[in-house]
Amino acid sequence: MNNLSSSRTDDPAAGGFLIVDTAAVVANWRTLRDSAPSAKTCGAVMKADGYGLGAAELAPALAAAGCRDFFVAVPEEGIALRRAVPDHTIYVLSGPLGSLEPFITHNLTPVLNAPEQVAEWLAHSGGRDYVVQVDSGMNRLGLTAAELTELAPGLKPRLLMSHLCCADEPAHPMNQSQLAAFRVAREKLPGVPSSLAASSGIFLGPDYHFDLVRPGIGLYGGNPVPGQPNPVRAAATLRIRIVQVRRIDTPGAVGYGATHAVTPGMRLATVSAGYADGLLRSLGGRGKGMLGGIEVPIVGRVSMDLISFDVSAVPEEFARPGQWISVLGDGIDLDEQAGRAGTISYELLTGLSRRYARRYTGS
Amino acid sequence: MNNLSSSRTDDPAAGGFLIVDTAAVVANWRTLRDSAPSAKTCGAVMKADGYGLGAAELAPALAAAGCRDFFVAVPEEGIALRRAVPDHTIYVLSGPLGSLEPFITHNLTPVLNAPEQVAEWLAHSGGRDYVVQVDSGMNRLGLTAAELTELAPGLKPRLLMSHLCCADEPAHPMNQSQLAAFRVAREKLPGVPSSLAASSGIFLGPDYHFDLVRPGIGLYGGNPVPGQPNPVRAAATLRIRIVQVRRIDTPGAVGYGATHAVTPGMRLATVSAGYADGLLRSLGGRGKGMLGGIEVPIVGRVSMDLISFDVSAVPEEFARPGQWISVLGDGIDLDEQAGRAGTISYELLTGLSRRYARRYTGS
């Protein structure tokens, strides 16, 4: 079923194993790139450590496949990523946070979001490249239309960008409204390449593609078109080690708060990961795992470092200490598991902690 | 108001600042120790990297104050902590995960939870120290009463322990039931020291204290007695940098899904942290921050790397890019903020990511 038999001796200290399929991430990048053929360029958003899966490990594989434009959230992520892709463009979405120094020292390209950032960069960067973000209706980051009008005569950005707030809901009127606002903004900077679409935006169609698309979640296997078949492949498999299997002999309850009743004859497997490992507490009583090809439900509350599963339906030979329950991959869908936690794939992925041992396959 | 004016030049790359009050953690340890005077020993639970606040940084301060017993969840945490406290006892709550090697190499003391772990340790550890955990009703980890009876003649553990599942609810009948079960277990290993209470258990009274108490959340400022005045001090202050302040000029909405309406004249501050930094997505529309001594609500959804606050009530001189909004400490109570996210202080603390710059004060 898997190649983890050797991992027990490789990593006897870890409670869980995160297996990242580098080939799937690269294949997903190609799928997303090919879904926006009119865009000249397809970048890769690698903020939050590559959505939890490892920016430094994955960026070189994407670079080898032809990706030349990488996006991170804050300067320190750019500094870390620079070591992995020394020759490619790294954009920092926050723009400068109080100092230009990391941008200049590490050759990072800022996304300038506010008039103050624009003024500081133009005055002190020595003519280095930059991106301008315009707000097209999300009211989060970016110049307003009025600010862009005022500043446009002095701007020669490498790229003009904006961000969609409802791209995962194709029928939402914000999409058309933001597209219209972005088109107006583009006219103020003729000849400047532009970018609007992230993963979900790519699937809104060619009107949204412009010169550069910049997928994030789709690279990592999250479905960019909720409610439709997922066009990308799962990239993460997460297996947690069973510490103990208990056969219940008296009626009682399991876990904090004694919220879940147990009855004699049930078998419970407790695994060595919990919410401190990013398996959200909201999965308690709702999430599920896979063991021996059989779905097993989480029972009771998720603890900080432990989760209990009802493994009564699994033959005893597959439910023993030292064996592994999968909570992502191996038949457990990322988006479905996130939904069971009351959230989205993005939050589940970015919460995956470094307490797991990691293996990269397919590179 | 704070000493962060220098931090802009110290850490221009970070979007947020986590300030850990080492003196508060030590003071909390003393408070908890003194709340269980009949226990001979007060340990410290430092799993999940010291509940997110830094085990390696805090353990030496606790050791200097007299703490000699440290608890972590999994072997790899023990390996990391061993470098910080070379001469003290480090207990690993999971017990061995497939190999005894890290325990022997790094002098870690396992908590043995299952008959298989007991058998392996007794056969292959060369007579090294160990702890036995008995399950007293939580049905999570530990020997059953029947297993303990069967194995007791061959056991000479350093400590017998169990764990309470409802200690934060003093009136819950599980407390009395687990206490009774633990007393029965102790009689099977006469002369062996024992431990039942963590932070909340300490406040259930002297019957629960036995020989060693082992607080966790209380060290880090979480209230071990929900609904009553917090007997411990806040230890974590988290400030997030404002990237942009926007004055709304047209009616619209803010953030993903366009869920929160904004009206002309409002001022929104967007800060450079989000759910990838442990500020749970469930804080969207419910959490709050503090700016210039004024409470400011989170508006709209929490993004991966950004959160927007309504700062209309804050004078403009306190609400500018480069200034900081506090989301823990500075008047924002840990337990209250966690409640606003629909969870408990433990999950909020352990989710604090390493993307923050950190400073330790008061050591």
Q: For B166-194, how does the pLDDT look when each residue is reduced to its tens digit (9 = 90+)?
A: 999 999 999 999 999 999 999 999 999 99
Domains defined for chain B, CATH in brackets: 4-17+235-361 (2.40.37.10), 35-220 (3.20.20.10)
Is residue B275 annotated as part of the catalytic site, yes or no? no
Beta strands A69-72 and A89-92 are parallel
Preferred mutation among B139, B301, B346, B354 to probe A, highest tally of A CBs within 10 A? B139
Look up residue A26 and give its two tokens. 């690269």
Nearest CA in chain A to B174: A258
Using alpha carbons, list the distances in angstroms from residue B181 to A17, B75, B190, B195: 35, 28, 15, 13
Beta-bridge partner residues of B267:
B247
Across the interface, whether the CB atoms of A281 and B77 are under 8 A apart is answered: no
**pLDDT over threshold 80, residue A353:** no
Q: What is the mean pLDDT of residues B71-89?
A: 96
* Amino acid present at B46: M
Q: For A68-79, how does the pLDDT look when each residue is reduced to its tens digit (9 = 90+)?
A: 999 999 999 999
Across the interface, whether the CB atoms of B243 and A308 are under 8 A apart is answered: no
Per DSSP (E only), the strands in A182-281 are: 194-195, 212-213, 236-247, 252-254, 260-262, 267-271
**How far is the C-alpha of B82 from the C-alpha of B88, rounded, in Å?**
8
Give phi and psi for B242, each to the nearest 5: -75, 125
Question: Do A324 and A15 form a contact (C-beta atoms < 8 A)?
Answer: no
Q: For B280-332, how does the pLDDT look when each residue is reduced to its tens digit (9 = 90+)?
A: 999 999 999 999 999 999 999 999 999 999 999 999 999 999 899 999 999 99
Look up residue B205 and give its two tokens. 């009274």
Catalytic residue, chosen from B130, B188, B256, B360, is B256
Beta-bridge partner residues of B16:
B240
**How far is the C-alpha of A238 from the C-alpha of A357, rounded, in Å?**
10
* Amino acid present at B213: V
Beta-bridge partner residues of B109:
B91
Q: What is the DSSP letter of A3?
A: S
Look up residue B279 and give its two tokens. 């500020």
**pLDDT over threshold 80, residue B71:** yes
Across the interface, whether the CB atoms of B253 and A14 are under 8 A apart is answered: no
Q: For B218-236, how does the pLDDT look when each residue is reduced to its tens digit (9 = 90+)?
A: 999 999 999 999 999 999 9
Question: Do B100 and B116 form a contact (C-beta atoms < 8 A)?
Answer: no
Across the interface, whether the CB atoms of B304 and A73 are under 8 A apart is answered: yes
Provide, rounded to the nearest whole percent, the portion of chain A with pLDDT above 70: 96
Catalytic residue, chosen from A47, A208, A220, A275, is A47
Across the interface, whether the CB atoms of A322 and B98 are under 8 A apart is answered: yes
Preferred mutation among B17, B101, B138 to probe A, highest tally of A CBs within 10 A? B138
Question: Do A262 and A5 form a contact (C-beta atoms < 8 A)?
Answer: no
Is residue B47 annotated as part of the catalytic site, yes or no? yes
Beta-bridge partner residues of A91:
A71, A109
- Per-residue confidence (pLDDT) for residue A135, from 0 to 100: 96
Q: For B85-109, how does the pLDDT look when each residue is reduced to its tens digit (9 = 90+)?
A: 999 999 999 999 888 999 999 999 9
ipTM value: 0.94
**How far is the C-alpha of B287 from the C-alpha of B237, rounded, in Å?**
15
How many Cα atoms sit within 13 Å of A88 on the Cβ side? Answer: 26
Q: Which of B175, B174, B91 is nearest to B133 (CA)?
A: B91
Nearest CA in chain B to A118: B244
Cα–Cα–Cα angle for B264, B269, B270, nearest 5°?
A: 120
Across the interface, whether the CB atoms of A48 and B98 are under 8 A apart is answered: no
B5: how many CB neighbours lie within 10 A of its CB? 8
**Residue A3 burial (CB < 10 Å; 0-12/13-18/19+)?**
exposed
Beta strands B109-112 and A109-112 are unpaired
A-chain residues within 8 Å CB-CB of B48? 276, 304-305, 355
Q: What is the mean pLDDT of residues A297-320?
A: 96
Preferred mutation among B140, B169, B353 to probe A, highest tally of A CBs within 10 A? B140
Per DSSP (E only), the strands in A248-287 are: 252-254, 260-262, 267-271
**pLDDT over threshold 60, residue B361:** yes
Question: Do A355 and A18 form a contact (C-beta atoms < 8 A)?
Answer: no
**How far is the C-alpha of A141 from the C-alpha of A136, rounded, in Å?**
9
What does the DSSP assignment read for A304-331?
SS-EEEE-TTS-GGGSSTT-EEEEEBTT
**How far is the C-alpha of B242 from the C-alpha of A209, rounded, in Å?**
30
Number of inter-chain CB pairs under 8 A, A vs B: 246
Q: What is the mean pLDDT of residues A304-313?
A: 97
Beta strands B357-361 and B16-21 are parallel
Question: Do A97 and B272 form a contact (C-beta atoms < 8 A)?
Answer: yes
Q: What is the mean pLDDT of residues B45-55?
A: 96
Residue A72, H or E segment: strand A69-72
- Per-residue confidence (pLDDT) for residue B6, from 0 to 100: 32
- Per-residue confidence (pLDDT) for residue B356, from 0 to 100: 87
Nearest Cα of chain B lies from the Cα of A122 at a distance, in angstroms, of 17
